[in-house]
Amino acid sequence: MGAKGIVKKGSEMKFRWPNGAECAVSLSFEYDAESVEWGYSRNIEGAFDIGGFSPQFGVPRVLELLNKHDVKGTFFVPGWDAERYPDSIKEIAEAGHEIAAHGYTHENFSELTPRKEKDVLEKAHKILTDITGIPPRGFRAAAYGRPISAKTLSFCRDMDYIYDSSFMDDDEPYQVKIDGKFVNMIEIPWAWPLNDISFMSPPFSSGMSLVLPQRKPQWVLELWKEEFDGLYEEVGFFNLVIHPRDMGRVSRMPILEGLVSYMKRYNVWFTTYSQVADLCLKQLVER
């Protein structure tokens, strides 16, 4: 039962946000430079057609916006990109944002053997840790649709990750079960309507052929405001997924700023993924 009397139909029990906040808001960013195309095709010629925009323009614009509004984000970074742009990754971390794992070359984990998958997770973890000095605490599967294998969550748990963000089956965080048993890990689900790729990715980019037609930025802003209004009414969790390679255009950044400004007018808790996972795990212990 939410504070406003709305029965939650998804998670069995709701978490409470700090200081009486009536909605938790997380802004997540997928760094996704050339690793995406490299991972799909291993074709270095094609790899530079869009991925380079993220580190050069998209991410700097996002950082400027977050800094201006004093909001911390969570950045999912493929290890291959981190190796190529270590200074950029360091800059993100030094600005107080969270760096989280996102594979090595944006792999589809459902296509890897368990041994290869484990190697990829550990390799990416080490690269990010070496660059920032802070071990990642969570993971989001890459590739279209976030495919993971039956082993992914176990591997993440073995690495002491406290959250995963690969599922779309709820609209707020919930405790992860592995082999039917609850574990100390939180799922932070995302949704296509709150993912910029649904409306802003160029057709056939990244090996994808199923993207929706591109929408005018103001149309997307209206949709996101409506999503926020509904989730706020439920004392819920607003989880935005942004790709700086797509959102970082000058015509689109203003709607991200418009959305942040809009949400700041309400009683919300802006949180990184680690913070929300820590809070949920703490409340599970107290129950």
- Judge contact between 148 and 102, C-beta under 8 A: no
Query: Smallest distance, Å, CB 30 to Zn ion?
Result: 4
Select 61 or 140, whichever has its Cβ closest to Zn ion: 140
Number of residues engaging Zn ion in binding (CB under 5 A) = 3
Stretch that binds Zn ion, among 50-58, 119-127, 142-150, 189-197 (CB under 5 A): 142-150
Angle between helices 217-233 and 253-264 (to 10 degrees): 20
Select 30 or 34, whichever has its Cβ closest to Zn ion: 30
Query: Smallest distance, Å, CB 265 to Zn ion?
Result: 30
For residue 16, with 0-12 CB atoms within 10 Å meaning exposed, 13-18 middle and 19 or more buried, which class applies? middle
Tell me how far apart the alpha carbons of residues 150 and 215 are, in angstroms, rounded to a whole number: 35
Q: What is the DSSP letter of 195?
A: B
Stretch that binds Zn ion, among 79-87, 92-100, 134-142, 276-284 (CB under 5 A): 134-142
Select 57 or 144, whichever has its Cβ closest to Zn ion: 144
Query: Which residues inside 13-52 make contact with Zn ion, applying CB under 5 A?
Result: 30, 32
Query: Smallest distance, Å, CB 142 to Zn ion?
Result: 5
Give me 159's structure tokens: 């690495």
- Judge contact between 150 and 126, C-beta under 8 A: no
For residue 122, with 0-12 CB atoms within 10 Å meaning exposed, 13-18 middle and 19 or more buried, which class applies? middle
- Of 107, 62, 63, the closest CA to residue 81 belongs to 107
| Position closest to Zn ion via CB | 30
Contact flag: residue 241 with Zn ion (CB under 5 A): no
Q: Is 226 helix (H, G, I), strand (E, B) or coil?
A: helix
Among 50, 63, 131, 142, binds Zn ion (CB under 5 A): 142
Query: Smallest distance, Å, CB 69 to Zn ion?
Result: 23
H or E segment and range at residue 192: none
Q: Which residues sit at the interface with Zn ion, rule CB under 5 A? A: 30, 32, 142
